[in-house]
Amino acid sequence: MKSAAITFRMDEELKQQTERILDDIGLTMSSAFTVFAKAIVRTRSIPFKLCSDPFYNAENRAEIDRRIDRVEAGTANLKTVSMDELDAMTHG
């Protein structure tokens, strides 16, 4: 089997974190991406679920921006947000 070189750019800190974890598992970056590529071919898809964090939906982002604007304008009544409030924003 003939091998081909692949080059891509990645944030240095992310690369180092990834390499440390892969080393713990016993894989190199190259072997991990080979496993990834084989899974793509086998499943004909990305082999994991891709989704956005529901907390950052458009409505919540607008509310966050509104609150930041109020803080910056000095008109906000700052308070601690409870985990229940955060959960309600996340799960609507």
What are the residues whose beta carbons fall under 8 Å from the beta carbon of 86, sequence distance 6 or more? 55
Q: How many domains are there within the chain? A: 2
Would you state the pLDDT for residue 84?
81
CA atoms of 31 and 42, how far apart (whole Å): 16
pTM metric for this prediction:
0.54
For tokens 């930041």, name the residue: 68
Q: Is 40 a residue whose pLDDT tops 90?
A: yes
- Please check whether residues 64 and 86 belong to one and the same domain: yes
Q: In this structure, is residue 77 part of a structural domain?
A: yes
Q: End-to-end CA distance of the chain, in Å? A: 52
Q: Is 92 a residue whose pLDDT tops 70?
A: no
- Please check whether residues 62 and 39 belong to one and the same domain: no
- Please check whether residues 17 and 36 belong to one and the same domain: yes
Would you state the pLDDT for residue 13?
95
> Would you give the distance in Å from CA 74 to the centre of its chain?
32
Q: Is 28 a residue whose pLDDT tops 90?
A: yes
Q: In this structure, is residue 2 part of a structural domain?
A: no
For residue 64, what are the domain limits? 54-91
Residue that wins the pLDDT comparison between 10 and 77: 10
What's the token pair of residue 80? Answer: 């601690």
- Please check whether residues 62 and 87 belong to one and the same domain: yes
> Would you give the distance in Å from CA 9 to the centre of its chain?
17
